[in-house]
Chain A
């Protein structure tokens, strides 16, 4: 199921929490939703899950308006909200049964769905414990289990890995990746490597507005303009190497990264730059000891776009 968001605006008092956002998410896509605290991520998610309604704009799911078909569309959405609220006094298994029934799963299938979710989320040993007695990581698993109990086509996950240990984070990421093959997933997070690891597309909002939309690679390209190679060449005189590099046809600009150690940043024009640098070193009998593509970190892009 695809999601189309058109000109969504939501005000709380005079403050615009979400300001004219438009966005498309295709079926089977995992969308990473980034932004600083208070950027409007959670508000947008609450609108998509129909907890609150937008002031302006419309959400279409599989071409159908969310406002007009709210109750039916909710059946196809699984939601894990930010603080993962759960009925603490209920045992895990009862809680999942309750969720399954609310979703209208037929009686004969409730048991098998609950067992299945307990298996997937690894809650087997904890299933009879009260939710309040579980550690944060296990609670998070219960939250994920309730979001997926009705096998929804769309998953909305608000910071799904918060409070988990590194092993659990890896497991949940793997799970989301697997699910993302057939489901449409929107997940929000503060953890940037997580987005790179799990998401097909990144969407950054700040103060309710979209500031970036694309894959991690395309955002990087956008941020730095050209590809940069970090090169270290030994056995040569720095200024001579600098001039020779600058003279190459595929190089647009050379910087000294570290003059003492003969390190250079080479801005590239074309793709055969690596071959040309290698050829140059062979001709001049220099030793090429390092040549790595320089990547702008997602953190830097994020900071640049959201700090103002």
Chain B
């Protein structure tokens, strides 16, 4: 655990030293703030004391931002060879992956923490559903965790950051809306299965304030599979001379 924490700290430092963290936080707050308060279906238009519009827009901003955070994680280390340097030290592949994964999650959590004033403001305007809002934040954290896991996997299969970014978006698109669209054209059990694979369905039910174990299992599975395949992908170095 201690070793993982050392990796987490290094990754976070690298986020903040390279300005990625600041750019990410500013852009995230800018986008989500703009559409929550100023434009489109914002809070004043809806006229309800709820952060639903914020959750809906963050669902999209995070979809694009997370691959940008994870794309360099392993791709860059593979390209420069620092992964070799790291893995010949007393640390396992899994510890490296978990460290990088946790660092991404912590950065996203920090970004979300900065939206706490939104909550306070809305709570002062009207009677906010605190439980529902907490569920909404939980939903955002869970989709972030799922997409971060997909992003890290994408980063592990290539040593080109752009490729890693695009692959993460490509895989993400299926979960983000394609499965739902495909499912709407299907009937019966297959339609239900494909529909179950869509993050949108689970995100919406969660952000409405419905805490269901099905959703937790769903996100947990994506996270687990993403990290599992990342580890498999790293062990491929044994088969090809890189």
Contacts and interface: CB of A to CB of B under 8 A. Distances in A.
A89 B11 CA distance: 11
B88 to A, nearest CB: 4
Interface in A87-110: 87-90, 94, 98-99, 101-104
Nearest to B79: A85
Interface residues of A, number: 32
Interface stretch (A26-34, A49-57, A207-215, A279-287): A49-57
B158 to A, nearest CB: 17
Contacts of A99: 89
A85 B82 contact: yes
A46 B84 contact: yes
Contacts of A90: 10, 14
B131 interface: no
B90 A86 contact: no
Given A46-B84, A81-B85, A102-B3, A52 B237 contact: yes
Q: B interface, how many residues as a size bin?
A: 20 to 34
Interface string A236-268: 000000000000000000000000000000000
Contacts of A86: 82, 85
A81 B6 contact: no
Contacts, number: 66
Contacts of A88: 80
The 8 closest A-B pairs by CB, nearest first: A85-B81, A49-B88, A85-B82, A74-B90, A12-B241, A79-B88, A102-B89, A75-B90
Interface of A: 12-13, 17, 43, 46, 49-53, 71-72, 74-75, 77, 79, 81, 83, 85-90, 94, 98-99, 101-104, 146
Given A85-B84, A86-B85, A102 B91 contact: yes
B61 to A, nearest CB: 26
Contacts of B241: 12, 17, 43
A83 B242 CA distance: 13
Given A74-B89, A85-B85, A102 B6 contact: yes
Contacts of A53: 238
A72 B237 CA distance: 21
Nearest to B91: A102
Contacts of A72: 90
Main secondary structure of the interface of B (DSSP, over half): helix
Interface string B49-83: 00000000000000000000000000000001111
Nearest to A49: B88
B103 to A, nearest CB: 13
A46 B83 CA distance: 12
Contacts of B89: 74, 99, 102-103
A196 B237 CA distance: 34
A232 to B, nearest CB: 53
A143 to B, nearest CB: 8
Most-contacted residue by chain B among A13, A81, A85 (CB, 10 A): A85
B18 interface: yes
Interface in B1-30: 3, 6, 10, 13-14, 17-18
A89 B14 contact: yes
Contacts of B86: 102
B92 to A, nearest CB: 7
A50 B91 CA distance: 11
B88 A74 contact: yes
17 contacts: A12-B240, A13-B239, A17-B241, A49-B88, A50-B88, A71-B92, A74-B88, A75-B90, A81-B85, A85-B82, A87-B14, A98-B10, A99-B89, A102-B6, A102-B90, A103-B90, A146-B85
Contacts of B193: none
Nearest to A94: B13
A51 B88 contact: yes
A72 to B, nearest CB: 8
A51 B84 contact: yes
Interface in B226-241: 237-241
Contact of B84 (A81, A87, A89): A81
A86 to B, nearest CB: 7
B87 interface: yes
A74 B86 CA distance: 11
Interface in B196-242: 237-241
Given A12-B241, A51-B237, A101-B6, A89 B17 contact: yes
A104 to B, nearest CB: 6
A46 to B, nearest CB: 7
Contacts of B84: 46, 51, 81, 85
